[in-house]
Amino acid sequence: MAIKKYPVLIIDDHPLIVEAYKTALKYYTAQQSAINFTIQIAENCDSALQLINGYKRKGKEPGLVFLDMKLPPSKDHKALSGEDLGLKINKLFPKTKIIVATTLNDNYRVDSILRSINPDGFLIKNDITPKELIQTIHTVLTDPPYYSHTVLKLLRTQIENNFFIDAIDRRILYELSTGTRMKELPNILPLSIAGIEKRKRQLKKIFDVSSLEDKQLIIVAKEKGFI
Amino acid sequence: MVFGFSIYITDEKSKKRALLFENEQQKANEQVYLISLKQQEKIENERILERNRIAEDLHDGVLGRLFGTRLGLGFLNIEGNEKTKNDHVSFLNELQTIEKEIRDVCHKLSDNTTSSQINFSSIIHNLMESKSKLGDFTFKLDFDPAIDWQHINQITKVNLFRILQEALLNILKHASATKVTLNFWFHNKKLLMEIKDDGVSFDAKQKRKGIGIKNMKSRTEKLNGKFSIVSKHNKGTQIIIKIPI
């Protein structure tokens, strides 16, 4: 049987985690003798971009990418995080399978990564065990997607609360939850204070919040998995 | 006759001096209040920054390394009897629980919604709370969310605060109220403050107005605002301040 070569790119700035991925890949190869992984590692956005561009130059593509979200940004500040890298990989190598693994777990960020990168595997790091990691590799290579528990829970609450809430609404909720002041919001969003107030009133209606304070709105939005 | 006239003059002079002094005193008080308000805001902002920094360190550094360590340990082929293997598993589970706990702590630390609201409204709330205990009345406080307190200038806020203090003093001294309502809202580009109590009324039209009411009125007028007070028998007192913004 022909052995399938699989170039793997691990992008993570924690050496211990890189080691764990390598071990998991080794275990997986031991189970599936038909696969052979060649592994390359990047610890920041710059070295990741270098490797990605290297593939492109040679007319090749990575088969599988492990992608952390929080990474040291590139020196030219064009890639600020793993999310930027993920978008670039999607664009250059549409067939490449991406496993996003992150410690981030606020619903807003998880949701925005699902929408922007749409990864084949999505792991919240603290959800998973070694066994699950091997399972993830298997599922992503054979029949994606694989989402870890926290991601699934988020998707479930969103289906349960099928409100009409668009990207700007979400952003308003997110900014309010991180303590951004109302007067700063017009600098971040394409809306005036009055426009934001209007949306806030609408959101309070949707979430059935009678309190005039934003705090209650944030609490409910959090419960429902929107932030 | 000349003598009497000179007494009259010195009397007027000393009155003027006293007034001037009072004015200076009031200005100084306001300045102290302004400084302390700014200081409070600064300290609060620093605290939020520090909390966020700790949360970030914990989240990105400690949590990531803990996860890496747990996975590394998990992949280790532990040799030994059944008990050793079981212990290995339960230690791994324990590590995962610790990770979850740290994650929760991070979320609490970076939740800025409550702490960032140290500002005018919280100061007002504190004032109402302390006075309500003193006067043994309950209070209701309502802020129109359309008011952006950050945008309203400090002088206005200081004066509103002082007027409220004065009004509460009157309530404490004379009204023996059981309930005090305080509302702030926005209407026609005007900021409105209403203080209502259900205590003993007084005749608002009596000739000799107390210095307290005079003060409230002059403070409102300084802000080009309108001051009104209604006090009806058995219906308590209502004060409304209207200030153009």
ipTM reported for the complex, 2 dp: 0.72
CB contact A11 to B (< 8 Å): no
Choice between A3 and B64, residue whose per-residue pLDDT is larger: B64
**Alpha-carbon distances, residue B232 vs B127, B173, B199, B228 (angstroms):** 26, 18, 10, 13
pTM of the entire predicted model: 0.63
B135-184, pLDDT tens digit by residue? 899 999 998 877 877 778 878 888 898 899 889 988 888 778 899 999 99
Rounded to whole angstroms, how far apart are CA atoms A145 and A114? 11
Which residues make beta-bridge pairs with B186? B191
Average pLDDT score over residue span A27-33 = 87
User: Residue A216's closest chain B neighbor by CA?
Assistant: B113
A28-32, A128-132, B116-120, range with the lowest pLDDT: B116-120
CB contact under 8 A, B75 and A20: yes
Residues with Cβ within 8 Å of B19's Cβ and at least 6 positions away in sequence, in order, are none
User: Residue B151's closest chain A neighbor by CA?
Assistant: A183
CB contact B99 to A (< 8 Å): yes
CB contact under 8 A, A218 and B48: no
CB contact under 8 A, A125 and B75: no
CB contact B85 to A (< 8 Å): no
A100-143, pLDDT tens digit by residue? 999 877 777 888 899 899 999 999 988 889 999 999 999 999 99
CB contact B112 to A (< 8 Å): yes
* Res B1: pLDDT: 56
Which residues make beta-bridge pairs with B244? B190
Q: Using 50, 70 and 90 to split pLDDT, how confident is the model at B114?
A: low
A136-145, B58-67, B108-117, range with the lowest pLDDT: B108-117
Distance from CA of B67 to the nearest CA of A (A): 6
Q: What is the mean pLDDT of chain B?
A: 82
Task: Assess contact for A99 and A120: CB atoms under 8 A.
Answer: yes
DSSP letter, residue A224: T
Average pLDDT score over residue span B181-193 = 91
A20-24, B43-47, B207-211, range with the lowest pLDDT: B207-211
Rounded to whole angstroms, how far apart are CA atoms B181 and B196? 5
Selected from 3.50.70.10, 1.20.1050.10, 3.30.565.10, 3.40.50.300, the CATH number assigned to the domain covering B119-244 reads: 3.30.565.10
Q: Give the side-chain half-sphere CA count within 13 A for A121.
A: 28
**Alpha-carbon distances, residue A191 vs A157, A185, A199, B137 (angstroms):** 28, 8, 10, 43
CATH code for residues A4-157 = 3.40.50.2300
Show residues of chain B in contact with A19, CB under 8 Å. 68, 72
Q: Is the per-residue pLDDT at B6 higher than 70?
A: no
Q: Where in chain B is the domain with CATH 3.30.565.10?
A: 119-244
Choice between B76 and A8, residue whose per-residue pLDDT is larger: A8
Interface test with B, best of A22, A70, A125 (most B CBs within 10 A): A125
**Which A residues 46-105 touch B at CB under 8 Å?**
70, 103, 105
A59-101, pLDDT tens digit by residue? 999 999 999 998 898 898 888 889 999 999 999 999 999 999 9
CB contact under 8 A, B65 and A27: no
Helix (H) or strand (E) holding A8: strand A4-11
* Res B126: pLDDT: 83
Task: Enumerate the H helices of chain A as residue ranges.
Answer: 15-31, 45-57, 82-92, 107-116, 130-142, 149-160, 167-177, 185-188, 193-206, 214-223
CB contact under 8 A, A14 and B64: yes
